[in-house]
Amino acid sequence: MPDAINPTLALLHRHRSIRRFTEEVVSDDDMTHAVAAAQMASTSSAVQAYCLIRVNDDAKRKRLVALTGDQIKVARCGAFLVVCGDTRRHRLVAERSGQPHHQNLESFMIATIDASLFAQNLAVAFESLGLGICYIGGLRNHPREVDELLGIPFGVFPLFGMCVGRPAEGPTARPRLPIDAVLFEESYPDDRTMLAALDRYDAHYVEYLKERDAKATPWSTRIAERFDHLEREELAVYYASKGASLT
Amino acid sequence: MPDAINPTLALLHRHRSIRRFTEEVVSDDDMTHAVAAAQMASTSSAVQAYCLIRVNDDAKRKRLVALTGDQIKVARCGAFLVVCGDTRRHRLVAERSGQPHHQNLESFMIATIDASLFAQNLAVAFESLGLGICYIGGLRNHPREVDELLGIPFGVFPLFGMCVGRPAEGPTARPRLPIDAVLFEESYPDDRTMLAALDRYDAHYVEYLKERDAKATPWSTRIAERFDHLEREELAVYYASKGASLT
């Protein structure tokens, strides 16, 4: 298996989302090294449309536990980070030079994609330092309250959180889609081919769950349930209120 | 400097976008290893809302050069990949089980973020194999034509391209924002503090450009120019036509 090819590929393969951490605080050195490396990620025309807020304060962390859906790990990790799309710097320099500042879906996507590339480099950097991470999509549950708690102004869009810390568990990795359901040659496959690949995946996924005495629900069933209703219905109105344009 | 700390941090620091490649084709082995490692990136509730289309065909590559804004490197690289947000698999399994499939901004963001985390892992994986990469945002210039060329169906959203190959140049890295303009403690800074950090960055940025005999335009000036007009104004209508909901 590719684990042996080089240390970085091996590191990527070892990734597991970590949900239980020791009490060790992430050091400023580790934080600085990881962020500096993360900033080297590609960014659209160097706009660097992202920022990171580290939350140490106990009371704020406790409030964030509640806001993210009672995720205790948000308080019990070595560092909690809020990853934001950031168009405010761009607004500030435009205002100062008296130029207009325009936004549309393209600029919102640039911020979202830039921030995500940065965040994934950050995750890899932390893991290279022996730390574990978990993304917290639940940060989008109550974004207005997150704004108020952290003084996040107009033009800055909280996207997700990240727990970081010394792992206190060693979970197994959930199997991913088979590569032929992800990487296509020349064109997108037809539905029949895709469904056949997903059937194989379901069988593999159920086998994995059974081995762990977990409820053997196929991936397909979980996915259909996940999208049979809407979640976070206020998000578009919220981001628009922060200066994003989704048109 | 952090370069010495571990091989992966050193690799992240060495990242440069590569725009000139040798004629060497990316091997299937390298492609498979990189994609398998990339798939280990975190994904929201395992939805894995992304896919990758590799374009080898010469005629298609030439057409993509034109569609991405005459970027010759799209034809002259060892592999050209189209990274898409993919909600089609989810639709297919929902349809098969007779369940409704709902979309809103949250599900579009999940696809965009999932695909970006995957893509950045992919970039890091390729670089660990000695290859270079360049993201191609120009893929969003004419997405309908990209769809037609690659048979990308309803529910699948082309987000950006990626050139991969053996580097035939060794560019220097553009300086990134100072870390105190990116990483904040407890709350977002005030405008004055931010502008002071950006002024320091501009001075550093101009110095870097002068050393390279490039036009010494401060970052702030370039940013104000970048956002004084809209780009890709059809994008929201286009993604909506593909089944995304931005509300």
Domain CATH code at residue A101:
3.40.109.10
Looking at the partner chain, which of B113, B223, B225 has a beta carbon nearest the beta carbon of A159? B113
Q: Give the closest-approach CA distance of B177 to chain A in angstroms.
A: 8
Q: Residues of A with CB below 8 A from B157's CB?
A: none
Closest CA to A90 of A72, A75, A102: A102
pLDDT in tens, A55-103: 999 999 999 999 999 999 999 999 999 999 999 999 999 999 999 999 9
Is residue B233 in a domain?
no
3-state secondary structure of A77: coil
Task: Yes or no: say if A47 and A110 are a contact pair by the CB < 8 Å rule.
Answer: yes
H/E element, A34:
helix A28-38
| Same domain assignment for residues A214 and A228 | yes
Residues B101 and B207 grouped into a single domain: no
Q: In this structure, are A40 and A144 located in the same domain?
A: yes
Residue B78 DSSP symbol = S
**B109 shares its domain with B49:** yes
Task: State how far the Cα of A127 lies from the Cα of B212, in Å rounded to an integer.
Answer: 35
- A12 CB neighbours in chain B (<8 A) are 37-38, 40-41, 121, 124-125
* Closest to B84 in 3D by CA, of B122, B57, B46: B122
DSSP state of A3: G
Same domain, B138 and B198: no
Chain A residues 193-222 with a CB less than 8 Å from chain B: 194-195, 198, 219-222
List the Cα angle B217/B219/B222 in 5-degree steps. 70
Residue A93 to residue B27: CA distance in whole angstroms:
45
B interface test, pick of A14, A17, A28, A40 with most B CB neighbours within 10 Å = A40
- Pair B79, B189 in one domain: no
At B160 the pLDDT is 98
pLDDT at position B4 is 57
Alpha helix ranges (H) inside B129-245 = 143-150, 191-211, 219-226, 235-241
Judgement on whether residues B16 and B33 belong to the same structural domain of the protein: yes
Residue B247 in any domain: the answer is: no
Domain that holds residue A210: 173-247
Q: How many CB pairs under 8 A join A and B?
A: 372
Q: Are residues B84 and B202 in the same domain?
A: no
Do residues A221 and A233 share a domain?
yes
The identity of residue A224, as a single letter, is A
The pLDDT assigned to A4 comes to 57
Average pLDDT, chain A: 96
> How many CB atoms within 10 Å of residue B207?
11
Q: Is residue B210 part of a domain?
A: yes
What does the block give as tokens for B39?
A: 């798939």
- B102 and B221 housed in the same domain: no
- A110:B7 CB<8 A: no
Residue B166 half-sphere exposure, CB side, CA atoms within 13 Å? 7
Residue B23: inside a domain: yes
| Residue ranges of A 9-68 with Cβ closer than 8 A to chain B | 9, 11-13, 15, 17, 31-42, 44-48, 50-57, 60
Q: Would you say B181 and B197 are in contact if contact means Cβ atoms under 8 Å apart? A: yes
Q: Which of A144, A172, A200 is the last residue of a domain?
A: A172
pTM above 0.95, yes or no: yes
A134, A50: one domain:
yes
Nearest to A90 among B6, B96, B223 (CB): B223
Cα–Cα distance list, A197 to A110, A190, B35, B57 (Å): 32, 11, 17, 24
CA-CA-CA-CA torsion sign (A26, A29, A30, A36): positive
Q: How many angstroms separate the CA of residue A217 from the nearest CA in chain B?
A: 13
**pLDDT greater than 80 at residue A1:** no
Any long-range contacts for A57-62 (C-beta under 8 Å, 24+ apart)?
A: A57/B186, A60/A149, A60/A150, A60/B186
State the burial class of residue A169 (Cβ atoms within 10 Å of its Cβ: 0-12, 13-18, 19+): exposed
CA-based end-to-end distance of chain B = 45
Q: Are B173 and A46 in contact (CB under 8 A)?
A: no
Distance CA(A58)–CA(A42), nearest Å, equals 34
Inter-chain touch B186–A92, beta carbons under 8 Å: no
What string of pLDDT tens digits covers the 247 residues of chain B? Answer: 444 589 999 999 999 999 999 999 999 999 999 999 999 999 999 999 999 999 999 999 999 999 999 999 999 999 999 999 999 999 999 999 999 999 999 999 999 999 999 999 999 999 999 999 999 999 999 999 999 999 999 999 999 999 999 999 999 999 999 999 999 999 999 999 999 999 999 999 999 999 999 999 999 999 999 999 999 999 999 999 999 999 9
Looking at the complex, report in whole angstroms how far the Cα of residue B16 sits from the nearest Cα belonging to chain A.
8
State whether A66 and A98 are in the same domain.
yes
Given CB atoms, is A163 within the 8 Å cutoff of chain B? no
A184/B97 CB distance under 8 A = no
Neighbours of B93 (CB within 10 A): 24
User: How would DSSP label each residue in A170-215?
Assistant: -PPPPPPPPGGGTEEESSPPPHHHHHHHHHHHHHHHHHHHHHTT--
Cα A206 to Cα A62, A194, B28, B32, B36, distances in angstroms: 36, 18, 29, 24, 20
Strand B156-165 with B132-136, pairing: antiparallel
Confidence of residue A49 (pLDDT cuts 50, 70, 90): very high
Confidence at residue A5, expressed as pLDDT on a 0 to 100 scale: 83
CB pair distance less than 8 Å for B179 and A229: no
| Range of weakest confidence among A1-10, A225-234, B98-107, B230-239 | A1-10
pLDDT beyond 80 at A3:
no
Given A172, A193, A222, the domain boundary residue is A172
Total domains in chain B come to 2
Residue of A202, A159, A123, A199 lying closest to B118 (CA atoms): A123
